[in-house]
Chains A and B, each alone.
Chain A
Amino acid sequence: MTEILPAEGVFSLLWVLIALPAAGALILLLGGRRTNTWGPYLGILTVVGSAVIAVLMLLAMMAEPAEQRTVIQNVYDWVFVGSFQVSFALQLDQLSIVFVLLITLVGALIFIYSLGYMAHDPDRRKFFAYLNLFVAAMLLLVLANNYLLLYVGWEGVGLASYLLIGFWQRKPTAAAAAKKAFVINRVGDVGLSVAIMLIFVTFGSVTFQDVFGQVGEANEGTLTAIGLLLLLAAAGKSAQFPLQAWLLDAMEGPTPVSALIHAATMVTAGVYLIARSNAIYNAATWAATAVVVVGLITIFMGAIIGSAKDDIKKSLAGSTMSQIGYMVFAAGLGPIGYVFAIFHLLTHGVFKAGLFLGAGSVMHGMNDGVNMRRYGALKGVMVITFITFMAGYLAIIGIPPFSGFWSKDEIIHAAFERNSIIGAAAILAAGITGFYMTRMVAMTFFGKKRWEDDVHPHESPKVMTIPLIILAIGSTFMGMALLFWGNIEYWLEPVVGYESVPTPLPTWVYIVVTLVVVIIGAIIGWVTYARKDVPIEAPRGNLLTRAARQDLYGDAINDVLVVEPTYKSAHALTTFDNKAVDGFVTWTASFVGDLSKRLRRSQTGFARSYALSMVGGAIILLVALILVRLS
């Protein structure tokens, strides 16, 4: 078992990790316009500071033996209500640290990139404030040592995501997309909150140690329920089926946001949640199977949508869905998959951030145009962007030795360890990945110029290309580094567990088959979109293409299943309220009013009438007296 150490030395700075970006957000938001000039730099500085601390912590952690790498810092007593006791406590272990590094390092690069990308935006300060808020919340999410604190971070990133998707809120589409993301995330959040309640009722505690230590005592039905609720939460945050609809619209936000939040970090929070709750899923087989099914469905949905979209960011968003589907899929496989889910998460975080930033760079040069049918032949104009994008491209489709190859290959291998059918499905999805990414690259950088008349493509400034270069280097070497030098599976094993099951065929067979399928997909993409001319107007396409352009009818299904019934019931309730409730109230009021109008007539103003009623009262009194006397 792992030991839990108090936070000493560099680990005593654990709270500073969160406090730095939080303070940055606070200063930028409260400081107002006077921080306009230096605010963005302050934002970058806080995240870089956090990144430096995180690296120091990683070094300190690597110096410890594997069993002594879990650190808990109790910041203060938070909720103390009877038996419901929760501390504001931070936990740093092997799982947390890789997330912290991903968030702070990739975050820092994206911050720097944003400096160039958002250079002309009048609300740049606010943008950096929200990004800082996001980083703080995300760090809180991954550093929490209990589900309740995790929930705070979970909601915090949801808020930051909402604010940043709707950053250009003057655009109605952006405002609607922000609202949509927020609402769909609420569905998942309900799952998380109910799961936390269920966890507290079952285990009497919400801290990770207590819960995972007592998993053996709980019955499997309860654990399955908790697992499914956590899966619902993960599906909402990570845009998995059936709560996937928001992610494509979330691309309305600025591109750095898409890179940081909706590709690299926040959307992987669901994977983190599942990996963190591994003890629960290990004990609840059905919940784990549900995770696999959801992941598999999403892999294909994302890939198909990514193949059909002409909007470069939406295509990448579909790809993100698909890749997170891989991670969720891997996490559902159990101890054979957790470490590779996290591994893929890390490599994906880097190369997808690179791809998004590359897409942002292209858009920057193309007057913010996103339609790939108006790109083409950009490889000679944007050399650095092209080269870095190609690194990301090779990484995502899984060409050795690029990072995606190692992580995706391990996931496919793990899938075959469990079941050959799902393994084959994973390989097929990898082939589709090859197709749509080749399509994207071909339409953007190769082929003929299809630019609009007033577009003059140019390379982006250094402040944008340098992060791209760094991320490209990461995309190239990170997989190898983590696997061979970092021994990622053994690094994570104390937290999420790791086991390897022999597969029916030797490992190299799978690798070769996967590569062949990917290359076939890539060749199809190349032949279709680089060899032939790409029409500027999208062809009608076959049934699947049209469906994919409509996000596989995700919105339509939501409309029919949720939105319409909600509207109908709301209308019915309004009618009920207007007719029945208000009607009753109005009727009562008018009844009293009418009665008053009638009763008013009795006030004739004639003193004699009043005297008459006095005599009547006296008679009643007299009768009462006599009756009392007689009885």
Chain B
Amino acid sequence: MTGGEVGTGETIVFWVCGTLAVIGALGMVISRKAVHSALFIALTMINLAILYVANSAPFLGMVQIIVYTGAVMMLFLFVLMVVGVDASDSLIETIKGQRVAALLMGIGFSILLIAGLGNGLMETSSIGLETANSANGGNVEGLAMLIFTDYLIAFQVTAALLITAAMGAMILTHRERWYPRKTQRELSEERFAAGTHPGQLPPPGVYARHNAVDTPALLPDGSTSDLSVPEPLRARDDVREIDTDDIEGIRKLSSGSSTTDEGDR
């Protein structure tokens, strides 16, 4: 672990990871697709985890990876699945002047913040955490010492907060069922109770040699079914009569005993 001063190695780490974090952040803001944004912010968070470790906070670095990139980002992606992965935002701004004002303000804010902080912090020196970490035998032990002594009550309260949040999420996403779910039997009975044709209507003439739609289907007993002809045609009395010669021809054809009917093709 590095001390108060920043060494060369850490400087390289800072610039590489810092740049990646900023790229991730910008990518998140710019991406049209929410999934891309999620991936970009995951990149930022991983880089931040590395920077935590570089700042003598290995425990926080691990927690960052486990909690954020592991749990929180998975949650985000899960919700994205619910909402719709493919949905990409329209880039047309609906509120007049919002985008320009936001950019100006954001840039101005960052300039002011960086200038102000930089101005105030440039002269400060860094103490480093070697002493603090080694006092209890390491970073994790040191944090544990603090959390379970000085910050015990805050810790308990956050525990309660987490449980409350879990409960809240459950209640919020719970969908109230107003009547009992129908069984398959009930659904089937409902379908027949309506009194209409429960199943599929017979398709129009399978053996037709003409415009098939107006040709009624031939039932196994040799009669035809008017039901197989669309309603408007039936209303116009346009149902074609059965041509028994054709049927005979087809039968021959299907049994392979005839090679006629070239002209009909």
* Residues of A near any B CB (own CB < 8 A): 604, 606, 608-609, 612, 615-616, 618-619, 622-623, 625-626, 629
Report how far A625 CA is from B119 CA in the complex, Å.
13
Q: Count the B residues whose beta carbon is within 8 Å of the partner chain — how many?
A: 13
Q: Judging by beta carbons under 8 Å apart, are B116 and A604 in contact?
A: no
Report how far A625 CA is from B115 CA in the complex, Å.
12
Decide if B106 is an interface residue (CB 8 Å cutoff): yes
Give which listed residue, A608, A616, A629, contacts B120 with CB less than 8 A.
Answer: A629
* Residues of B near any A CB (own CB < 8 A): 95, 98, 101-102, 105-106, 108-109, 112-113, 115-116, 120
Q: Judging by beta carbons under 8 Å apart, are B101 and A612 in contact?
A: yes
Knowing A625-B116, A629-B116, A629-B120, say if A612 contacts B108 (CB, 8 Å).
Answer: no
- A-chain residues with CB within 8 Å of residue B101 when the two chains form the complex: 612
Q: Judging by beta carbons under 8 Å apart, are A604 and B109 in contact?
A: no
Besides the contacts A619-B112, A626-B112, what 9 more A-B pairs have beta carbons closer than 8 Å?
Answer: A606-B98, A609-B95, A612-B98, A616-B105, A618-B109, A619-B109, A625-B116, A629-B116, A629-B120
| A610: min CB distance to chain B, Å | 11
**At the interface, is chain A mostly helix, strand, loop or mixed?**
helix
The 5 residue pairs across chains A and B that have the minimum distance between CB atoms: A622-B112, A626-B116, A615-B105, A619-B109, A606-B95
A-B contact pairs, 19 of them (CB 8 A): A604-B95, A609-B95, A612-B101, A612-B102, A612-B105, A615-B102, A615-B105, A618-B109, A619-B108, A619-B109, A619-B112, A622-B109, A622-B112, A622-B113, A622-B116, A625-B116, A626-B112, A626-B116, A629-B120
Residue of B nearest to A626 (CB): B116
- A-chain residues with CB within 8 Å of residue B112 when the two chains form the complex: 619, 622-623, 626
Report how far A177 CA is from B108 CA in the complex, Å.
83
Q: Judging by beta carbons under 8 Å apart, are B98 and A615 in contact?
A: no
Knowing A619-B112, A622-B112, A622-B116, say if A608 contacts B105 (CB, 8 Å).
Answer: no
Q: Judging by beta carbons under 8 Å apart, are B98 and A609 in contact?
A: yes
- A-chain residues with CB within 8 Å of residue B98 when the two chains form the complex: 606, 608-609, 612
Report how far A629 CA is from B102 CA in the complex, Å.
26
Report how far A612 CA is from B105 CA in the complex, Å.
8
Residue of A nearest to B95 (CB): A606
Residue of B nearest to A622 (CB): B112
Report how far A316 CA is from B113 CA in the complex, Å.
101
- B-chain residues with CB within 8 Å of residue A608 when the two chains form the complex: 95, 98, 102
Report how far A604 CA is from B97 CA in the complex, Å.
13
| B162: min CB distance to chain A, Å | 26
- B-chain residues with CB within 8 Å of residue A615 when the two chains form the complex: 102, 105-106, 109
Report how far A615 CA is from B115 CA in the complex, Å.
17
Residue of A nearest to B113 (CB): A622
- B-chain residues with CB within 8 Å of residue A626 when the two chains form the complex: 112, 115-116
Interface centre among A608, A625, A629 (most CB of B within 10 A): A608
- B-chain residues with CB within 8 Å of residue A625 when the two chains form the complex: 116
| B105: min CB distance to chain A, Å | 5
| B99: min CB distance to chain A, Å | 10
Report how far A619 CA is from B108 CA in the complex, Å.
8
Report how far A616 CA is from B104 CA in the complex, Å.
10
| A620: min CB distance to chain B, Å | 10
- A-chain residues with CB within 8 Å of residue B113 when the two chains form the complex: 622
Residue of B nearest to A611 (CB): B102
- A-chain residues with CB within 8 Å of residue B102 when the two chains form the complex: 608, 612, 615
Report how far A239 CA is from B35 CA in the complex, Å.
103
- A-chain residues with CB within 8 Å of residue B115 when the two chains form the complex: 626
- A-chain residues with CB within 8 Å of residue B108 when the two chains form the complex: 619
| B212: min CB distance to chain A, Å | 58
Residue of A nearest to B93 (CB): A608
Report how far A626 CA is from B109 CA in the complex, Å.
12
Report how far A629 CA is from B115 CA in the complex, Å.
12
- B-chain residues with CB within 8 Å of residue A619 when the two chains form the complex: 105, 108-109, 112
Report how far A622 CA is from B120 CA in the complex, Å.
13
- B-chain residues with CB within 8 Å of residue A629 when the two chains form the complex: 116, 120
